[in-house]
Copies of this chain bind each other. A is one copy, B any other.
Amino acid sequence: MAEKKKTTIVLFSGEYDKAMAAYIIANGAAAYDHEVTIFHTFWGLNALRKDEQITVNKGFMEKMFGKFMPRGADKMGLSNMNYLGMGPKMIKKVIKKHNAMPLPDLIDLAKELDVKLIACTMTMDLLGIEQKEMMDGVDYGGVAAYIGDAEGGNINLFI
């Protein structure tokens, strides 16, 4: 039996459009029977946060990062033409109109397609994000897990 092809994406960016691109490529690769991993680090972690407020016991600086960073995919801004939040509203409207999938649905689909969603524990520490703030179905790992996955990958991207 042939070995499965592999796609590994580092999602570093915390913008709606970049996360959309990451999840569209991930889901496309999964549909083509790749084994797919998205490794969320730095601002990309925000895509995996639950959208409710979670009480955590953190230091001051971690609280500041946690407070000002978006809670979950739906709250993220655009990398371009953000216009104080107008851009994301417009993008979501055109997504709906053209029957494309908004980011939260793309993430749900990824889970259904068995895309492995990993959150980087080192940057969670730095930004003060705790596991109880994260959605279900997320795995946790560090750079070693990433290198292990990526070194055998056919498609490796940093987004």
Interface residues of A, Cβ cutoff 8 Å to B: 5, 7, 10, 12-14, 17-18, 21, 24-25, 28-29, 31-32, 34, 41-43, 59, 61-62, 64-65, 68-69, 79-81, 90-91, 93-95, 97-98, 100, 122, 125-128, 143-144, 146-148, 150-159
Contacts and interface: CB of A to CB of B under 8 A. Distances in A.
A25 B143 contact: yes
Given A12-B21, A125-B100, A28 B68 contact: no
Contacts of A147: 7, 25, 28-29, 32, 34, 155
A154 B149 CA distance: 11
Contact of A24 (B13, B21, B93, B143): B143
A36 to B, nearest CB: 10
20 contacts: A5-B151, A12-B17, A12-B18, A14-B80, A17-B43, A24-B122, A25-B147, A28-B144, A32-B147, A43-B80, A59-B97, A61-B93, A61-B94, A64-B90, A94-B126, A100-B126, A150-B154, A151-B154, A153-B155, A158-B158
Contacts of A29: 147, 151
Given A32-B151, A150-B154, 8 more contacts: A7-B147, A7-B151, A12-B21, A12-B159, A34-B147, A42-B80, A65-B90, A100-B122
